[in-house]
């Protein structure tokens, strides 16, 4: 599909509805914008752990995406290993 769009003064571009629907990008969906030698690519954002790169059991807190395993490893640093 080839579509021409003009960039707005604020740098915005409206992604055509058919393209959004085909990519599963609903209103409010986060997207990743990746540039390379071929151009600019927009893909649906997949939450990924900032530390290990896992996409399983990832939550977002304080604008940081972290997986359950890494979060548990971090939490161990705040405990002394006893129950009390």
Of the pair 13, 74, the CB lying nearest Zn ion is at 74
What is the distance between the alpha carbons of residues 49 and 44, in angstroms, rounded to a whole number? 16
Distances (CA, A) of 33 to 10, 40, 43: 16, 7, 7
Q: Is 47 in the site for Zn ion (CB under 5 A)?
A: no
Q: Is 58 in the site for Zn ion (CB under 5 A)?
A: no
Residue 20 burial by Cβ neighbours in a 10 Å radius (0-12, 13-18, 19+): middle
> Which of 52, 55, 59, 74 touches Zn ion by CB under 5 A?
52
**Closest approach of Zn ion to the CB of residue 7, in Å:** 36
What is the distance between the alpha carbons of residues 16 and 3, in angstroms, rounded to a whole number? 8
> Which of 20, 42, 48, 51 touches Zn ion by CB under 5 A?
51
Q: Is 48 in the site for Zn ion (CB under 5 A)?
A: no
Using CB under 5 A as the binding rule, the residues of this chain from 1 to 30 that contact Zn ion are none
Which residues contact Zn ion (rule: CB under 5 A)? 49, 51-52, 54, 67, 70
């Amino acid at each position: 599909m080839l579509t021409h769009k003009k960039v707005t003064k604020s740098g915005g571009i409206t992604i055509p509805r058919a393209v959004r629907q085909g990519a599963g990008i609903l209103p409010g969906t986060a997207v990743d914008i990746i540039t390379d030698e071929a151009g600019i690519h927009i893909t649906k954002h997949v939450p990924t752990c900032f530390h290990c790169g896992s996409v399983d059991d990832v939550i977002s807190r304080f604008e940081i995406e972290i997986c359950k395993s890494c979060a548990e490893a971090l939490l161990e640093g705040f405990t002394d290993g006893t129950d009390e």
